[in-house]
Amino acid sequence: MRLWARATAVRRRVLCLWLLLLGFALVTLALSDLLNRDRDHSRQKPVPPLRPLQRIPNAPDLEVIVDSRDPALELGVDLAPLKSLQEDQLLFVPSTQDSKNPPQKKGSYKVLLPGANKDTRPPAHLTHGEMGKAVRIHLEGMERDMELSAVQKYGFNEMVSERISLHRRLPEARHPECLGGQYSESLPSASVVICFHDEAWSTLLRTVHSVLDTAPKPHLQEVLLVDDLSQHGHLKSVLSEYVSHLDAVRLIRSTKRLGVGGCRTLGAARAAGEVLVFMDSHCECQKGWLEPLLERVAQDRTRVVSPIIDVIDWQTFQFNATQWPVRGVFDWRLNFYWESNPQLQDKESDSAVRPVQSPALGGGVLAIDRHFFQSVGAYDPGMLLWGVEQIELSIRVWSCGGSMEVVPCSRVAHLDHHHLPYHFSDQELLQRNKIWIADTWMDAYRKIFYRRDTLAHFIRQSESPNNTERLQLKKSLGCRNFHWYLSTVYPQLYIPQDRPALSGELYNVGTGSCADYPRGQGLRGGAMNVAPCSGTGSQHCDLNSEFEVRCDPMGALCLDAKGEMVVLSPCPIHRPPTSRFQWKFIKLSGQLVHQQSQLCLEVVKEGGLPQSSPKKVNTHARTGGLFLRPCTHHPRQQWHFEQLVSPKDA
Ligand SMILES: *[C@@H]1O[C@H](CO)[C@@H](O)[C@H](O)[C@H]1NC(C)=O
Ligand SMILES: *[C@@H]1O[C@H](CO)[C@@H](O)[C@H](O)[C@H]1NC(C)=O
């Protein structure tokens, strides 16, 4: 039995009595809220500007931030009971039960009673995910069932996490040259802002202790825990109680779901340190991680820096060091990646400890000067709840006078989730955020994105986001355009040509399916295959003027042949490419001819495959492999490029 669990039980019993008394008040409050609430919370509406926040007085170890438009304030209700209600999970929460028909439900609210939030529905991701299948096969018996439900609840194996000390020390992963590093006494102070929403107890507290155990006291102004409207019981009064015993840790609660960006902006507004360190709520810091970050920011206040993000495994909680050099990038579908061993221009001897500039940084851990953060526009309030806000911030920081880099002597490990443990009522959340980035920052290059994400394209056709304010900000800050960003900051990103009739889904006449590429292999590529045409833009290929066919959203992998097997390989650096990577498309016959072998691209059905072919790739969707065969007029050698988004549309 855990101490904090017992503490809750006792506290609950005491609170029971006055809770009953409060019952009436609560129900009245609930009804008035339901009656008065503006029903139209539609996402199509222009996004309101950040609203002023008010602080409630007389909360010793706890601040409760209440939105000035909070229904309780509008009703003129005394706020003291509201704070207590929140502490003990009597909350007004947006109803997220029904994710299938969100539009009608958005304005509705329900009252949550203690214990009423034990929602253990398996998340959709797990039932569909292949990893989920693997978990189910591996886990047997009672305890295994509990582990499985812990995985479902949090997206990682929380039972393993519970058994690990909140003070565990990570194995040393820094380069030996980092260890003797002397840092100035006069480094700026840091406020570590940790936002959380329904985080597990062990991972949240391990994050907090890890910061307290590793950050030098003189440089650590405070740790700001910001609760983004969590529902889980352990994050209520038990957490407040626990935090009240920790030095330099403050807890802030939002009464509204803010999402990653909004929550961090809120934390930033409360922070007193000179440098903000945004950190996810499931991290573990390596000794000496803070000083190198502060030093880099102190040298140049427009520099935004990240440690090397090592990986904690979601099943075993094992630590896995990330290879240096590494930097953050994104592809034309606006997905973020850490790119290991990038082809960097400078290969000098001390590069093992020298920071590397990075076109983008992940959201896991980020240090930024507080004033620079505010002046560059904080996190964009137009971005919804979760997803790609790190890409938006990255493009903005670079374009508007700042820079980004990864600092190798600083390392923080981040728990990789198997899936996101909660649902969003808006299924197209990610697309909407990407549309926001495309329309605000990408100028004409946004067409390249829309061709590769047709869902975003169709959403964009039916609704246009009002990003007037951000465009004004961009103008007033004198930010550079996306062409500058691509050519100066991220010249390694291939810019697709997407010529009509020579780009799009590569449709095979004989099978009625589309050429598809191996996913999850990073930039290693793998055997090509055909799969049902997705229509989403995920199978977009681009035959360029140098006769390469590039099919991945990064445009870094080229159609290539290994013997008779057709594969996707890293594109050659030398220009023009050798004939091994060149393909000629004969429009009349639909043949794609490999220039080196003069053989044609053909779909070979499953069963007719040679023994050596990899069987594991995409078995559920795959309907055949791609091979080189002597050219014939067989329909399985006939192809055409289907453009899903017409050029003038995008
Ligand atoms: C660590 O990461 C490497 C590279 O990503 C991977 O190949 C390896 O399997 C990982 N090891 C563990 C124990 O997770
Ligand atoms: C867009 O937002 C700006 C300010 O946020 C507002 O002035 C303008 O009227 C809005 N435009 C539309 C079409 O809603």
Interatomic CA distance for residues 117 and 395, integer angstroms: 39
What is the number of helices (H) and of strands (E) in the chain?
20, 29
Same domain, 539 and 624: yes
Between 242 and 6, the more confident residue is 242
Look at residue 485 in the predicted model and tell me its pLDDT. Answer: 98
Residue 557 belongs to a domain with what CATH number? 2.80.10.50
185 CA to centre of own chain? 35
What CA–CA distance (Å, rounded) separates 429 from 465? 13
Name the nearest CA neighbour of 617 among 534, 517, 511, 533. 517
**Residue of minimum CA distance from atom 7 in ligand 1:** 320
Q: Whose CA is nearest to atom 4 of ligand 1?
A: 322
**Residue 93: how many CA atoms within 13 Å on its side-chain side?**
20
Is 518 found in the same domain as 588?
yes
Q: Relative to the alpha carbon of 340, which ligand is closest?
A: 1
**Closest ligand 2 atom, residue 466 Cα:** 1
pLDDT at 570 over 70: yes
Task: Name the nearest CA neighbour of 467 among 52, 49, 42.
Answer: 49
Is 455 inside any structural domain? yes
Nearest CA to ligand 2 atom 13: 466
Ligand 2 touching residue 340 (CB < 6 A):
no
Number of separate domains in the chain: 2
CB 429 within 8 A of CB 465: no
Q: Above 80 in pLDDT, residue 38?
A: no
Mean pLDDT of 476-492: 96
Could you tell me the distance, in angstroms and rounded to a whole number, from the CA of residue 374 to the centre of ligand 2? 22
Lowest-confidence region among 107-111, 241-245, 595-599: 107-111
- Do 589 and 479 lie in one domain? The reply is no
* Same domain (yes/no): 508, 458: no
Query: According to the model, what pLDDT value does residue 18 have?
Result: 57
For residue 319, report the distance from its CA to the centre of ligand 1, in Å. 9
**Among protein residues, the one whose CA lies closest to atom 6 of ligand 1:** 320
Note whether residue 309 is domain-resident.
no
Instruction: For ligand 2, say whether the CB of 466 is within 6 Å of any of its atoms.
Output: yes
Of 489, 511, 532, which residue sits at a domain end? Answer: 489
Distance 283 CA to ligand 2 centre (A): 39
Question: Model confidence over 282-292: pLDDT tens digits?
Answer: 999 999 999 99
In the predicted model, what is the mean pLDDT of residues 543-568? Answer: 95
Residue 49 alpha carbon, nearest atom of ligand 2:
5
With respect to residue 610, please indicate whether it lies within any of the assigned structural domains. Answer: yes
Q: Please indicate, yes or no, whether residues 483 and 540 belong to a single structural domain of this protein.
A: no
Q: Quickly list DSSP for 243-260.
A: HHTSTTEEEEEESS--HH
Predicted confidence at residue 52, as pLDDT, reads 36
Is residue 553 within 8 Å of 566, Cβ to Cβ? no
At residue 363's C-alpha, the angle toward residues 436 and 569, to 5°, is 80
Q: Among candidates 461, 486, 463, which has minimal Cα distance to 650?
A: 461
Q: Which atom of ligand 2 is nearest to the CA of 469?
A: 5
Does this model's pTM top 0.95? My answer is no
- For ligand 1, residues with CB inside 6 Å are 313, 318, 320
The whole-number average pLDDT for the span 169-196 is 91
Q: For the chain, what is the mean pLDDT?
A: 79
Q: What's the angle, vertex CA 388, arms to CA 385 and CA 392, rounded to 5?
A: 105
Distance, in Å, from the CA atom of 368 to the CA atom of 416, rounded to the nearest integer, reads 23
Give the per-residue pLDDT at 90: 26
Residue 374 lies in a domain: no
Asked if residue 576 has a cis previous peptide bond (ω within 30° of 0), the answer is yes
Looking up residue 451, the CATH number of its domain turns out to be 1.10.8.460
pLDDT at 6: 54
* Nearest of 554, 508, 549 to residue 532 by alpha carbon: 508
Residue 320 CA to ligand 1 center (angstroms) comes to: 6
Domain limits for position 579: 503-642
Q: Tell me, what's the pLDDT at 233?
A: 85
- Clarify whether residues 509 and 600 are in a common domain: yes
Comparing C-alpha atoms, which of 408, 406, 368, 154 is closest to residue 281? 154
In a domain, 560, yes or no: yes
Residues 460 and 512 in one domain: no
Considering the domain architecture, whether residues 483 and 513 belong to the same structural domain is answered as no
Find the mean pLDDT for residues 95-100: 33
- Is a pLDDT exceeding 50 seen at residue 234? yes
Instruction: Give the C-alpha separation, 632 to 602, whole Å.
Output: 10
Q: Answer whether residue 237 shows pLDDT above 60.
A: yes
Atom of ligand 2 nearest to the CA of 46: 14
- CA pair distance 286, 174, nearest whole angstrom: 8
> pLDDT tens, 60-72?
334 555 343 333 3
How would residue 163 be classed by pLDDT, with cut points 50, 70 and 90? confident
Distance CA 228, CA 130 (A): 30
Q: Could you tell me if residue 335 is inside a domain?
A: no
Between 304 and 142, whose confidence is greater? 304
Residues 624 and 508 in one domain: yes
Confidence at residue 98, expressed as pLDDT on a 0 to 100 scale:
34
Q: Please say which residue of 489, 520, 539 terminates a domain.
A: 489
Q: Say whether 534 sits in a helix, a strand or coil.
A: coil
**Token pair 């295994």 is at which residue?**
144
Whether residue 468 is found in the same domain as residue 518: no
**Ligand nearest to the Cα of 381, by number:** 2
Pocket test for ligand 1, best of 170, 317, 320, 324 (most atoms within 8 A of CB): 320
C-alpha 279 – ligand 2 centre gap (Å): 33
User: Which residue has the CA at smallest separation from atom 11 of ligand 2?
Assistant: 466
Last residue of one domain, picked from the residues 489, 512, 531: 489
- φ and ψ of 359, to 5 deg: -60, -25
Q: Average of pLDDT values for 268-283? A: 96
Which residue's CA is the closest to the ligand 2 atom numbered 6? 468
Q: What is the pLDDT of residue 285?
A: 97
pLDDT score, position 8: 56
SS3 content of the chain, % helix, strand, coil (to 5): 35, 25, 45
pLDDT at 19 over 90: no
- 532 found inside a domain: yes
Residue range 574-585, pLDDT digits in tens:
889 999 999 999
> Which range has highest mean pLDDT (154-158, 462-466, 472-476)?
472-476
Query: Residue 46: CB within 6 Å of ligand 2?
Result: yes
Pocket test for ligand 2, best of 436, 463, 466, 471 (most atoms within 8 A of CB): 466
Task: Give nearest CA residue, ligand 1 atom 11.
Answer: 320
Mean pLDDT, to the nearest integer, of 458-462? Answer: 93
Residue 293 neighbours by CB under 8 Å, 6+ apart: 190, 275, 277, 305, 306, 307, 367, 407, 410
Q: Is residue 613 part of a domain?
A: yes
Q: What is the pLDDT of residues 382-421, one digit of tens each?
A: 888 888 999 999 999 999 999 999 999 999 999 988 777 6
Q: How many CB atoms lie within 10 A of CB 345?
A: 8
Q: Ligand 1 centroid vs 153 CA: distance in angstroms?
A: 24
Q: How confident is the model at residue 14 (pLDDT cuts 50, 70, 90)?
A: very low
Structure tokens at 597: 């072998």
Tally of CB atoms within 10 A around 28: 12
435 and 512 assigned to the same domain = no
Same domain, 559 and 440: no
**Closest ligand, as measured to the CA of 312:** 1
How far does the centroid of ligand 2 lie from the alpha carbon of residue 46, in Å?
A: 7
